[in-house]
């Protein structure tokens, strides 16, 4: 049996891999413990518990998705109202004040910068709202360009 305690000479945790016999023994112990735990449950109770739990999780995720769709629309409306309030305040409060107190060149420069910022904010917000969040797509790899990657991906995915 290999020691899993730190070596006193190096100070590092030198873990040795399990031998085949030790790995088989560990798997047999896990299988035995699982069988003993399932012995006390009525037939099919464990599967029903797992199915019920997954149904509960999926239902919670579906409710959360619907909630986020509704909240997303509310947040878009709030953003539009806030941006509109800023534009209204600029035209009805700040522009008359600047026109009365600044030179014509200062007022025009301020108006150009303010409108440039407004156009950028509006454009970026519209693009954020219109852009899809996307989805995870399985990589399309051919075996001739990446043979090692393809074999690893197939072994993980269980594809022959």
Structure confidence at residue 133 (pLDDT): 73
Per-residue pLDDT band at 137 (split at 50, 70, 90): low
- Stated pTM of the model: 0.47
- The per-type count for the chain, helices as H runs and strands as E runs, is 5, 0
Structure confidence at residue 24 (pLDDT): 74
Q: Is the pLDDT of residue 109 over 60?
A: yes
Contacts of 83 (CB under 8 A, 6+ apart): 118, 121, 122, 125
**pLDDT tens-digit series, residues 56-71:** 777 788 888 888 888 8
């Amino acid at each position: 049996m290999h020691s899993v305690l730190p070596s006193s000479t190096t100070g590092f945790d030198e873990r040795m891999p399990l031998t085949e016999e030790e790995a088989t023994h560990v798997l047999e112990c896990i299988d035995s413990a699982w069988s003993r735990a399932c012995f006390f449950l009525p037939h099919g109770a464990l599967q029903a518990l797992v199915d019920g739990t997954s149904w509960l999780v999926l239902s919670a995720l579906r409710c959360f998705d619907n909630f986020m769709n509704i909240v997303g629309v509310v947040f878009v409306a709030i953003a539009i109202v806030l941006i509109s309030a800023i534009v209204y305040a600029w035209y009805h409060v700040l522009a008359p004040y600047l026109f009365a107190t600044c030179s014509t060149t200062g007022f025009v420069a301020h108006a150009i910068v303010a409108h440039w910022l407004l156009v950028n904010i509006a454009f970026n917000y519209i693009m954020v709202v219109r852009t899809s969040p996307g989805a995870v797509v399985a990589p399309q790899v051919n075996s001739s360009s990446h043979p090692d990657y393809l074999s690893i991906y197939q072994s993980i995915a269980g594809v022959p």
